[in-house]
Chain A
Amino acid sequence: MSRIAVIGDRTSVIGYRGLGLDAFDVPDIDAARKAWVDVLEQGYDVIFVTEDMYGGMIDLVEEVSEQATPAVAVIPPAGGGTGVGGERIKRVIEKAIGTDVLIREEEA
């Protein structure tokens, strides 16, 4: 049994705290990177990161991408998302297939 962590600015994560997730509210990216290290040490299996914080810690998140846990998902922040989370998955797909043209076709 493991708990769920959310890393992001205060406005974005406050709601998750109300749901009983462990919200790490961080004012800036440096604090987010520190929080990430803590989160990994404490062995969370699911981590949500807001888009703006993810932008500053892509390298850290990449480090765990080939491990089975933690599962990291990028969520839009309170101010509205710019699709960074979707972009991240698209990059992974491109890496695997070499293109994402195939996927776009399938969707059309």
Chain B
Amino acid sequence: MEIRVNPNRMELLKLRRRLEIARRGHKLLKDKFDELMKAFLRLISENRRLRAEIEAELQLSYGSLAIARAEGGSLVLDEALSVPVRKAKVEVSTRSVMSVDVPKIDLVDAGEVGGYGLATVPAVLDEGLLQLSKLLPRLIEMAEREKAIELLAAEIERTRRRVNALEYVLIPSLSDTVRFVTMKLDENERANRVRLMKIKSMVEESM
């Protein structure tokens, strides 16, 4: 597809410049895309392992909690856990992966598990909570990674669309137009030359 322009040298120069810039932009974006993809793939394979581990271990601690519930009754359990002494917080900063801002989440953990009466609460509850508390840093890590995956995925999609737009639309249409203008200029040149030759022969004949 060509862009409609006046076929003259000025336009030709402008078009060539635009084509050059488009090609350079395409190369840059393509490099960015490849780099994003590399980071993305790394994140994915790590995350898949992490999630499988976490889901398996989570079942263990859920199991302990279920036993605690069965032994002590839900009322006791709810009461024991309703006012935790421990406060888990997170500190969120951002880091940049290929100019995509992804959150970096650090767990700020305070206090020991507990704060409930040891007499009424089944001992297995401690175990369940301990397992869960060991899992917490990795849970947070998983949340951080999955967020990063989401953000990178969106950026990858955007970049791919840009790369494709340049590669399959803008660059071909620009180079088609450059060709059209070049041909038109060449054609004008030839027409002019023929006209000159014709005039020259007419002048020679009349002499």
A residues neighboring B (CB under 8 Å): 1-4, 10-12, 14-21, 45-48, 65-66, 68-69, 71-73, 75-76, 78, 80-81, 83, 85-86, 89, 92-93, 95-97, 102-103, 106-107
Q: Does the CB pair A92–B59 fall under 8 Å?
A: no
Q: How far is the CA of A31 from the CA of B47 in the complex (A)?
A: 30
Asked whether A96 and B156 contact (CB < 8 A) given A3-B90, A45-B92, A71-B144, the answer is yes
Task: Find A89's partner among B125, B132, B149 (CB 8 Å cutoff).
Answer: B149
Which of B85, B132, B147, B154: most chain A CB closer than 10 A? Answer: B147
> In the complex, are the beta carbons of A66 and B154 less than 8 A apart?
yes
In the assembled complex, which residues on chain B have CB atoms less than 8 Å from the CB atom of A17? 81-82, 84
Known contacts A15-B128, A20-B87, A96-B157: does B45 contact A76 (CB below 8 Å)? no
Q: Tell me whether B28 is interfacial, beta carbon within 8 Å.
A: no
B29 within 8 A of A: no
Majority DSSP secondary structure for residues of B touching A: helix
Whether B48 sits at the interface, judged by CB under 8 Å, is: yes
B15 interfacial by beta-carbon distance below 8 Å: no
CB nearest to A80 among chain B residues:
B59
A18–B48 CA distance with the chains assembled, in angstroms = 27
- Taken together as a complex, chains A and B put the C-alpha atoms of A1 and B92 apart, in Å, by 7
Whether the Cβ atoms of A96 and B143 lie closer than 8 Å is no
CB <8 Å contact, A75 and B139: yes
Contact of B69 among A11, A66, A89 (CB under 8 A): A11
Interface centre among B110, B142, B149 (most CB of A within 10 A): B142
Contact indicator per residue, chain B 76-94, by CB within 8 Å of chain A (1) or not (0)? 0110111011111111101
Q: By DSSP majority rule, is chain A's interface helix, strand, loop, or mixed?
A: mixed
Contact of A14 among B58, B81, B88, B101 (CB under 8 A): B81
Q: Is the CB of A48 within 8 A of B132?
A: no
Task: Pick the most buried of A46, A66, A81, A95: most chain B CB atoms within 10 A of its CB.
Answer: A46
The reply to whether the CB of B133 lies closer than 8 angstroms to some CB of chain A is: yes
A87 to B85: give the CA distance in the assembly, Å: 35
Query: Within the complex, which residue of B40, B89, B139 is in contact with A2, where a contact is CB–CB below 8 Å?
Result: B89
Contact indicator B84/A96 (Cβ below 8 Å) = no
Contacts known (A12-B62, A71-B146); A19 close to B86, Cβ less than 8 A: yes
- Separation of A21 and B139 alpha carbons in the complex (Å): 12
